[in-house]
Amino acid sequence: MTVTKTTNIHQIDGTEEQIKAINGLSQEFDVTTERLRTITDQFVKEMRRGLDHDGATVAMIPSYVSGRPTGDEVGRYLALDLGGTNLRVCEFDLKGKGDCSVKQQKFVISDELKTGDMRDLCDYIADSVDTFLTEHCSKPGPNEEMLQLGYTFSFPVLQTAINRGVLKQWTKGFSSTNAVGKDVALLLQESFKKRYLPVNVAAIVNDTVGTLMAYAYCYPETAMGVILGTGTNASYYEKTANIKKWSEQENPAGTDEMVVNMEWGAFDCERQVLPLTMYDNKVNRQSRNLHQQLFEKMISGMYLGEIVRHAMINLIDQYLLFNGESSPILNKQWGFETAYLTAIEKDKTENLDETKEILEETIGIPSTTLADRQMVKKMGEFVGRRAARLSACGMGGVMMQDDKIGQECIIAIDGSLFEFYPNFEGLLREALGELFGEEAANKVRFALARDGSGLGAAIIAMMAHKQQQQQQQQ
Ligand code: ADP
Ligand code: MG
């Protein structure tokens, strides 16, 4: 009898079964070049569907932001950022020539607020703005002009004007009641009114759109704004002629181009091309938004640690990891943070000491072997790499739609996953290279636009306010 030994391609110092298990996971999480192409083609199809009619999977929402910033915008504007880990309130002093200064304060959004009544959430936001203005800025007097605010609200909102928009659905763990189907700008404006706060919600801004505008303030040729943080999404300039679902009445300004908020996290909810594993299905099943945002659930910071957690538990249950022992932290949903993947991926010590500390001290696994730690590191690597390759499909889809292949192209990206996960940019470029060739991939610049959405929201509030003033004068 011949015994074939499993090839130890991932160089795990473990048993034959452990090596086999890792080889299996490597395949499950692999996105081949061919699959990259299939997904990207499907992406373009879904984008076009979204541009053609309402109610498509990738919603392709017109943002009512049409101009490009010149960099010469000036003035004081407020910005709010809701939809990430914290609520941020900022005041930007735009100084022109792409220059600005900022004051900001962060406020914690409790789980209670995320899942309670929307009125309470809006009241909390208004209180936070009040606190910020009292502590950091000066409030306008009764005869002075109101402060103009750009409201970064990073959930799918169907906009009907720059400052009007109805929430389609919650994502990223929010589920406040009395919000879906309502105008989120009006709800917040009401809370300001109750407190006699002289603040006007001048614009609703998606964070992708804010990121795009903020980077375009310095580099007008920026083509896309992408978020790779708690969630994932993107926006880009589309020709209004291509937004076929729009009648002429809906484009009163008659602009040639407009920023479209793609809401790409919802891509392929029909499960036609995404390489979903059993771990993805578990994450989905236990989430607050079942069967929605499947693309986002394979890519963004909120979920990557959770995918790895499920993969670890599965191996523990087969006695292939940690000698079959888990820990109360690891057994709990969200018990394994995506930030650990970054730390583990960065761990270059021979004995994987950093990884040992995370697993044993932070997570509470009784003891780990070198093989255990190598396996966890590999799982993180597979899941991180897959996230980068899938997001590259979205970017590649936009480049195809926007005729950007082979051209110089700046993609402005905000989010901790892109900022901190080792070599995320390299992985993105590699995937784009497989799609369009190395030369074309090298013409793309991935630019970190840290917390760009705030500045973008301030710029958009300024543009909206100017437009409004012009209309009033006419
Ligand atoms: P937000 O999207 O909420 O505005 P971030 O861009 O900071 O904020 O993204 C937060 C998400 O990024 C969280 O889901 C978190 O798990 C993840 N994250 C935080 N730190 C890191 C890190 N060092 N490496 C990878 N992911 C991280
Ligand atoms: Mg953010």
Question: In the prediction, which pLDDT does 469 show?
Answer: 81
Looking at the CA of residue 415, tell me the nearest atom of ligand 1.
6
Question: In the prediction, which pLDDT does 248 show?
Answer: 60
Sign of CA dihedral 11, 13, 16, 17: negative
* CA of 456, nearest ligand number: 2
Compute how many other C-beta atoms are within 10 angstroms of the C-beta atom of residue 410: 19
Looking at the CA of residue 300, tell me the nearest atom of ligand 1.
14
Tokens of 409: 């192209």
Tokens of 342: 């970054």
d(CA 222, CA 240): 18
13 is catalytic: no
Question: In the prediction, which pLDDT does 252 show?
Answer: 61
Choosing from 123, 130, 183, 207, the catalytic residue is 207
Does residue 177 have a pLDDT over 80? yes
Mutation to probe ligand 1, out of 416, 418, 455 (largest number of atoms < 8 A from CB) = 416
Question: In the prediction, which pLDDT does 318 show?
Answer: 98
230 lines ligand 1 (CB under 6 A): yes
| Pairing assessment for the beta strands 61-62 and 257-261 based on DSSP bridges | antiparallel
Per-residue pLDDT tens over the stretch 230-259: 999 999 999 999 999 987 666 666 789 999
387 lines ligand 1 (CB under 6 A): no
443 is catalytic: no
Looking at per-residue confidence, does 459 or 67 come out higher? 459
Helix axes of 301-317 and 338-346: crossing angle, nearest 10 degrees: 80
**Confidence band (pLDDT; 50, 70, 90) for 17?**
very high
Residues with CB under 5 A from ligand 2 (ion): 84, 229
Cβ neighbours of residue 81 under 8 Å, at least 6 residues apart?
87, 88, 89, 90, 152, 154, 207, 451, 453, 454, 457
Q: What is the mean pLDDT of residues 179-203?
A: 96
Does residue 202 have a pLDDT over 80? yes
The answer to whether 415 and 225 have CB atoms below 8 angstroms apart is: no
Of the given ranges (53-62, 159-168, 230-239, 245-254), which has the lowest mean pLDDT?
245-254
Paired strand residues for 80: 89, 151
**Confidence band (pLDDT; 50, 70, 90) for 5?**
confident
Per-residue pLDDT tens over the stretch 321-373: 999 999 999 999 999 999 999 999 999 999 999 999 999 999 999 999 999 99
How far does CA 176 lie from the centroid of its chain? 20
Average pLDDT of the residues of the chain: 94
